[in-house]
Amino acid sequence: MDIGWFLAVSALIFTIGAVGVLTRRSPLVILLCLELMLNAANLALIAFSRMHGNHDGQIFAVIVMVVAACEVTVGLGVIVAMHRRRLPIDVDELQELQG
């Protein structure tokens, strides 16, 4: 199969994730969309790995998964902490760091 299809799917998923991050206001959904973006990148990496016939891309994909796991841990922890302090679950209202 032509590698173009894989890349097309990857780009599609990435765009969906990016648009989700930009448009949604719930931190939970933003995290999910971030996962989409990361996995789109994983798909592209593995496709390229198959094309070149070596395993470098797959190793990258594993590393990205590790990063994704860490990010989810921290992100969900932050969301739980926000929930406990009864902060609004809305990224637009959390703007204390403005200059």
Q: What is the CA radius of gyration of the chain?
A: 17
Which of 1, 2, 22, 53 is in the footprint of other proteins by CB under 8 A? Answer: 22
Q: Do the beta carbons of residue 27 and residue 91 sit within 8 Å?
A: yes
Residue 2 is a binding residue for other proteins (CB under 8 A): no
Q: Do the beta carbons of residue 75 and residue 27 sit within 8 Å?
A: yes
Residue 85 is a binding residue for other proteins (CB under 8 A): no
Which of 9, 16, 18, 46 is in the footprint of other proteins by CB under 8 A? Answer: 18
If binding means CB under 8 A, how many residues of this protein chain bind other proteins?
A: 14
CB-wise, 53 or 98, nearer to other proteins?
Answer: 98
State in angstroms the smallest separation of the CB of 40 from other proteins.
Answer: 13
Q: Which residues lie closer than 8 Å to 20 by C-beta, 6 or more apart?
A: 29, 30, 32, 33, 36
Spatial separation of the C-alpha atoms in residues 63 and 99, rounded to whole Å: 35
State in angstroms the smallest separation of the CB of 99 from other proteins.
Answer: 3
